[in-house]
Every structure is written in C-alpha cells, then in structure tokens.
Amino acid sequence: MTKTTDIREAVEAELDFDPLVDTSAISVKNINGDVALNGTVPSYPQYLEAAAAAQRVAGVKRVHNHLAVELPDGDYRDDVQLATAANNALLWDVTVPVGIEATAHDGNITLTGTVRYGSQRTAAELTVAGLIGVRNVKDEIGIDYDAADPVDVTVLVQDALDRNALVLDDSDVLINATGNTVRLTGHVRTWAEHNAVIDSAWMASGVYDVIDDLVITG
C-alpha cells in the first residue's frame, strides 16, 4: 500500500470516526499530502468540521475543501429570517463587539463592521456559523488598529510561541512584522502546530493582518 493511499484512507477513517460529520456524500482525494474533499454536507458546521478532521491526520499538508452545503428542505430560511437570526445572535454574544452586522443572501452570511482584535472577528464567524439555514460565511470585518512598532509586535508574537506547548523549542518559525502586518515563515509538523502559530499571531495587540507562508512537513 502506498503512502498516498494510506493518507487517503486515514482521512476517510477520521471522517467516519468524527460524529459531527455525515460522510455519506463525501469523497477524498490525496496527492502527496494535498487532500481534496469533494461532495456535499447538510450544514455549514459540517463543512468546517470535515476540513478540521482531515487536518488532524498525519501526513496531510494542505486541505482543499470543495464541499458544498446542501441544506435539507426543512433548514432553508429566507434572507430576512436568516439575517435577523444572525444579527440577534451577534447582539447576544458577549465575545462579539457591538457594531458587527450580518446580511444574508441565499444562505450566505456576510459580516461587516470593525473590531480591535482578530480573535473578535473569529468569534463573530463562529457565532453565526451554527445557525440553521447558513450555507457559507463571508467575513468582511475590518480591524480598527493604531500604528504598531514592528519590534514590539515581533516580540509579542515570539513570546506567545515560546509559551505555546504545541510549538517545539527548536522551531524554525520566523516572524517578520511590517507595521501592523505579520508574515510567518518556516516549518511546522502538523496542522495543530500550524493553527497554534497562526492563532498566536492574531492574538497580539496591533496585528491587522497575518500572512501565512508556513510549510507543513507532515
């Protein structure tokens, strides 16, 4: 059995193992660690979870999520209903700042407004992702920031990586800050380590954008 087949079968097994994913209409392809997910799922959370499940498998370097969300008949909501539900959810979520707004079109939610931190933008996405009738979430939320010293940003991110249990002490991840933008380069072993590095960068005060040039070795 080739390694290519091993990875594909491992991803299929992980998808079958995950109770949050209906795999009945999902197919998996793998080329040297580049995994593509094709087919359909019945909800947007399953779309996200399928990609997360594939990323947990050793040897997976990239995941191309081509799944489409095909809602069951009873889960369709018109644009007004869905937008109202999304805005109410944002209003009641303590982790989402005031001023974030949602619009809806054919199950597609678009988020707008401004926040202070990248983690708040992520919180807004998660707040609406699980609503009935959502097929996709487009994040157009901006980050309202003050000019940051690149040296200070670099130190903050590096300290966060040094504290993180998922990032090895001999990690070759490099942080290059230009103004409020952080570029990450180097190698990580797994998607879990990759996500830990990205999350650490977004949590640093003053970061407006994170450019992900990390290589996953698998």
Report the CATH number at residue 138.
Answer: 3.30.1340
Q: What is the pLDDT of residue 2?
A: 54
Q: What is the CA 75 to chain-centroid distance, rounded?
A: 24
* CA 133 – CA 104 distance, rounded (Å): 10
* Residues 26, 64 within the same domain: yes
User: Tens digit of pLDDT for each residue in 128-144?
Assistant: 999 999 999 999 998 87
Q: What is the CA 214 to chain-centroid distance, rounded?
A: 15
Which residue stretches of the chain have pLDDT < 50? 1
Which of 69, 98, 114 is the last residue before a domain boundary?
A: 69
CA distances in angstroms from 154 to 180, 183, 212, listed in the order given: 10, 10, 15
Give the residue among 111, 108, 45, 112 at the shortest CA–CA distance from 77. 108
* Residues 37, 85 within the same domain: no
Q: How many CB atoms are closer than 10 A to CB 38?
A: 14
* Residues 58, 97 within the same domain: no
Which of 52, 69, 86 is the last residue before a domain boundary?
A: 69
Beta bridge pairs of residue 134: none
DSSP H helices, 19-117, are 44-55, 79-92
Task: Characterize 10-34 residue by residue with b for buried, 16 or more Cβ atoms within 10 angstroms of its Cβ, and e for exposed.
Answer: bbbebbeebeebbbeebebebeebe
Domain that holds residue 118: 74-143
Beta bridge pairs of residue 185: 174, 213
Q: At which residue do the structure tokens 């594909």 appear? A: 8
CATH of the domain at 42: 3.30.1340.30
- Total domain count for the chain? 3
Q: What is the pLDDT of residue 143?
A: 84
* Residues 124, 154 within the same domain: no
Which of 17, 50, 69 is the last residue before a domain boundary?
A: 69
Q: What is the pLDDT of residue 1?
A: 44
* Residues 64, 14 within the same domain: yes
Strands (E), the chain: 26-31, 34-41, 62-65, 68-69, 101-105, 108-112, 114-115, 136-139, 142-143, 174-178, 181-188, 209-216
Q: What is the pLDDT of residue 149?
A: 79
62 exposed, middle or buried (CB, 10 Å; 0-12, 13-18, 19+)?
Answer: middle
